[in-house]
Each structure stands twice: as C-alpha cells, then as structure tokens.
Amino acid sequence: MTSSECHSTNPLVVVALGSNLGDSPRIISDAIVKLRAFSDSPILASSVWQTSPVDCPPDSPVFLNAVVGFMARANETPESLLKKLQDLEREFGRKPKTVMNEPRPLDLDLIVFGGQVRRTEGLALPHPRAHLRKFVLCPLNEIAPELVIPGQGNAVVQLLAELRSDEKIERLA
C-alpha cells in the first residue's frame, strides 16, 4: 500500500481464506480476485499455504490458506462486510455447516476491521483465535508483520515467533 493509503481514515481489514474441498487452488485464487471488489484501494495478498486441519473432524483433507488485507470503504461496517463474505462463501458452494469445522470449498474469516471490537452472536472481532493459528499468522506475517491485532499487544511477527503449535504448514510456490 502506498503511504497515502496508510494514512487513510478507512480501517484496515484482514480476511483469512481457507479451502479443503474441491479445486482449492482455483477457489483461493478466484476468491482473492473477488475480494478486490470489496475495496477501492489495491489489496495485499499473501502466498498460498498448505496447512494441516486444526480442530476438524477426523480424516479431514489438508487446507490451502491465504490472507488478504485491504482498506474498507468509507461506508462499510464489520457487519455489512461479514454479510458480503458469507455471500461469497455461498457463491463458491459453501453449505450451512452440519459439523463444526467440516471440509468446505471456501471459508472466509474476518480477522480484523481496524481497531474495532465486537462480541455478538454473529460476529467476534478481532477473530478470537487468529493469534493462536499458524495458518492465519504465517500468511499475515507476509503482508503485515507489524500489525497489532486488537487486544494482543504484540505485532504479528512477535505472535508468530512465540506461538507453540504442532500445526504443519508449508508455503506453496
């Protein structure tokens, strides 16, 4: 992002993408393209990472994960953006979940929306487990290592360095 975009009053949004059902490489790539329409400014997109399933049903396939960052539009709220993300998940074939963390073609998690904090039935901001997940922190470290997730106190690069996890994660070429 350019220096003028860094001084924008529009909040920085971070969205984590995951897929472990269907043509995951294409789904992640196509979803990133669609997310570009959610901002008037250029987006930052991480590499794609292959990651082991975390808290998923037994024998769940591996995930492909990525993270994007962009400046929210002036009239966007966390709630309006969440609805757009959920609509995009459905566009890519996501069905209502029947089992927690079951395989899915596309999972979009709103990680941060500026410094906003929400704890409602439908929305938790910042994402309550983002700081505990390599599959979020590794790609996020590529695009925003100095970002401080609200409530964490340390930058992403520090959170990642201090994280103790048995997750298997590999950046794909």
List active site positions.
94, 104, 107, 109
Residue type for position 46: S
**CB of 157 within 8 A of CB of 141?**
yes
Distance in angstroms (rounded) separating the CA atoms of residues 8 and 29:
27
CA-wise closest residue to 115 among 145, 80, 153: 153
Q: How many residues does the chain have?
A: 173
Which residues lie below 8 Å from residue 74, measured CB to CB, with a gap of 6+? Answer: 9, 10
